[in-house]
Amino acid sequence: MKLSETTAQNSFRYGWLLKRLFPYIKPFMGRVILGLLVAIPVGALDGVVAFALKPYMDYVVGQKDWVFQAFGHTYSVSCSTMALAIPFAVVLFAGIQGTLRYLNTYLTEWTSQKITNTIKIALFDKLVFMDTSFFDENSSGVVLTRYFTDPEKASDGIVSYLRNFVTSLFGALSLIAVMLYSSWKLAVIGVVVLCAAFIPVALIRKRVKATSNKNMVLGGGITTNFNETYIGNRVIKAYCLQDRQRNIFKTKIWQTFDNNMSLVKRTGWMSPIMYLIASFGIALVLAYGTYLITNGSMTAGSFASFVTSLLLLYKPVKTLGNTLTGLQTVFVALGRVFELFDLYPQITDKKDAKSLKGLNDSIEFNNVTFGYNNENMVLKNINLKILKNETVAIVGNSGGGKSTLVNLIPRFYDIDNGSITIDGVNIKDFSINSLRNNISMVFQDNFLFSGTIRENIMMGNENATDEELNKAIEYAHLDEMIVDLPDGVDTVIGERGMSLSGGQRQRVAIARAIIKNSPIVILDEATSALDNKSEAVVQKALDNLIRNKTVFVIAHRLSTIKNATRIAVINEGELVELGSHEELMNIPNGQYKTLYEMQYRKQEQNQEQGVL
């Protein structure tokens, strides 16, 4: 399944997405709710400061005592007490607000990171079990964005936007309450104008989304370019491709720039326009307020409270607007995240899967037909029976389907027609792990992990004893090399084993296969990438690996092929000839004979002349 770089089907089903997200929020629900509860006073305390201005102006500045009645008594607070108490109260409230804000930030970070990590881990769990074809189809850049960046965007976003939403909403409500208390007429004017100022925000939402989608595609391309520059650095040097890589990078970076700038050009006018509309509102309020004060229907204190609230209101309302826009991107990211949760590997264990415990009799291909897509069949109607401890060499033209054939045995790909059986049981009936545990594979290019040589070998069998490890090292002809290393078998080899030579890497991979000690061995051009000298020693290691095993070997080396029990010739996806070297050489104009004469005779002559 090829992932889209930008879109997912369900990005606009908000309810459905929240329902899917809920299980990931649920374990942290207590703290999420606490965070939101704390967000309420953080917002609402904004209004308190504005509200404090009214008594300050009316009583302290106006030199009046505050007289009020409660519980049938009349109380009075002198203006000098108020002059002390009000500033003190303002500081106190700011202190409380600050403490709550801290608590709120802490809770938001805690919950959003917990949720993000839970989702990331769950996605990674899915990723490691995806089928080979999934990795064939999707580039590393897209996978990184979709499995790593999106969950961050989605769950970080949802918690912090939720918090901002609550804080801003209660901030706005408390300020509007103060405004209404001060003068409802002015409040109506203020709120209407402020809402008008935010109309442009609603208009540009679509553009923001289109731009962020475009940036994601570009970002994925940039990551892939980085990876390729890294992994392919030798090819880049060998073919002087530095300029190519730089140009790809430069082009994409500046495309991102153009993309962002076109957004700025189109949306940059918004803020000035909003301020302009807001300033009309303030002018209107000032004029009408002056009228109300001179007219005696409003005190100067109420007016001061009102104007302060109005000015303070701008921020929470703007945040509310941004939150609504931001939530869109969060939902788009959420849609992409939950699309990944709906991807399932096609190659899975059956319910009552059997465990494969070694090979007793034979491996059989029955009418196997397979294609990577529905149009082209790469293998056509293959019938082949390999007996226990037989070595079958698979030869044929490049692109004929040899690698494909052997990759079907560990179920890297599943076949649609025909069957592959081990001891008469369809391989689909075995659990995948038990099947793969019975197969050792050595390829042309074997992946070594960053870490030590020991770690890389022990991956073949984590329970192996030191004795088994040493034996594997000896059989893989690694002992001399390891003795020369500063930390011996615990020497750290670079990422992908780059500090080793090709032949050394190959022998580490063979040691890994030897320690695994599985009855079936698949060698796919295991010596093809090597020079003659390292090939000879790698071949010795391989001979140790395949002793008393059932072996499929794809090789170009004549002696390997001749020594095989039987040779299968695969041409254009069909098994055209099968038999021992002598048998196949006796077919007049046979394909093996032709291949042999074309490719292998030269090798044989070289060997006779002692070149090899």
Q: Min. distance of Cβ 401 from ligand ADP in angstroms? A: 4
Is residue 157 part of the contact set for ligand ADP (CB under 6 A)?
A: no
Of residues 439 and 458, the one with the C-beta less far from ligand ADP: 439
Distance (Å, whole) CA 315 – CA 568: 76
Contact range with Mg ion by CB under 5 A, out of 157-165, 300-308, 399-407, 455-463 = 399-407
State CA 605 to chain mean position distance: 53
Q: Spell out where 443-538 has E strands.
A: 451-452, 492-493, 520-524
Is residue 403 part of the contact set for Mg ion (CB under 5 A)?
A: yes
**Partner that binds at residue 378, options Mg ion, ligand ADP, none, CB closer than 5 to 8 Å by kind:** ligand ADP
Of residues 329 and 403, the one with the C-beta less far from Mg ion: 403
Q: Min. distance of Cβ 506 from Mg ion in angstroms? A: 16
Contact range with ligand ADP by CB under 6 A, out of 356-364, 391-399, 498-506, 595-603 = 391-399
**Partner that binds at residue 75, options ligand ADP, Mg ion, none, CB closer than 5 to 8 Å by kind:** none
Q: Min. distance of Cβ 25 from ligand ADP in angstroms? A: 39
Is residue 316 part of the contact set for ligand ADP (CB under 6 A)?
A: no
Secondary structure percentages of the chain, helix, strand, coil, to 5 = 65, 10, 25
Q: Min. distance of Cβ 368 from ligand ADP in angstroms? A: 13
Residue choice 301, 401, 460, 503 for contact with ligand ADP (CB under 6 A): 401
Is residue 411 part of the contact set for ligand ADP (CB under 6 A)?
A: no
Is residue 402 part of the contact set for ligand ADP (CB under 6 A)?
A: yes
Residue choice 217, 278, 332, 378 for contact with ligand ADP (CB under 6 A): 378
Is residue 136 part of the contact set for ligand ADP (CB under 6 A)?
A: yes
Contact at 8 Å (CB) between 530 and 538?
A: yes
Is residue 399 part of the contact set for ligand ADP (CB under 6 A)?
A: yes
Distance (Å, whole) CA 291 – CA 304: 14
Is residue 258 part of the contact set for ligand ADP (CB under 6 A)?
A: no
In this structure, which amino acid lies at residue 356? L
Of residues 145 and 403, the one with the C-beta less far from Mg ion: 403
Gap between the terminal Cα atoms of the chain: 46
Question: 284: which residues sit within 8 A by CB, 6+ positions away?
Answer: 189, 193
Q: What is the DSSP string of 57-85?
A: IIIIITT--EEEEETTEEEEE-HHHHHHH
Sign (positive or negative) of CA dihedral 274, 277, 279, 284: negative
Q: Build a one-symbol-per-residue string for 437-466: x at contacts with ligand ADP by CB under 6 A, - elsewhere.
A: ------------------------------
The CA R_g of the chain, rounded to the nearest whole Å, is 37
Contact range with ligand ADP by CB under 6 A, out of 117-125, 177-185, 325-333, 395-403 = 395-403
Of residues 294 and 376, the one with the C-beta less far from ligand ADP: 376
Of residues 139 and 403, the one with the C-beta less far from Mg ion: 403
Of residues 374 and 398, the one with the C-beta less far from ligand ADP: 398
Contact at 8 Å (CB) between 266 and 204?
A: yes
**Partner that binds at residue 136, options ligand ADP, Mg ion, none, CB closer than 5 to 8 Å by kind:** ligand ADP
Contact range with ligand ADP by CB under 6 A, out of 38-46, 107-115, 175-183, 396-404 = 396-404
Is residue 139 part of the contact set for ligand ADP (CB under 6 A)?
A: no
Q: Build a one-symbol-per-residue string for 357-376: x at contacts with ligand ADP by CB under 6 A, - elsewhere.
A: ---------------x----
Distance (Å, whole) CA 248 – CA 254: 10
For residue 389, CA distances in Å to 298, 361, 386, 461 come to: 102, 9, 8, 22
In this structure, which amino acid lies at residue 98? G
Residue choice 294, 295, 374, 398 for contact with ligand ADP (CB under 6 A): 398
Distance (Å, whole) CA 110 – CA 153: 15
Q: Min. distance of Cβ 441 from Mg ion in angstroms? A: 13
**Helix H segments across 342-486?**
402-407, 432-437, 453-458, 466-475, 479-484
Element (H, E) at 110: helix 79-128
Distance (Å, whole) CA 216 – CA 465: 48
For residue 285, CA distances in Å to 277, 280, 316, 595 come to: 13, 9, 20, 94
Query: Footprint of ligand ADP on this chain (CB under 6 A)?
Result: 136, 372, 378, 396, 398-404
Query: Footprint of Mg ion on this chain (CB under 5 A)?
Result: 403
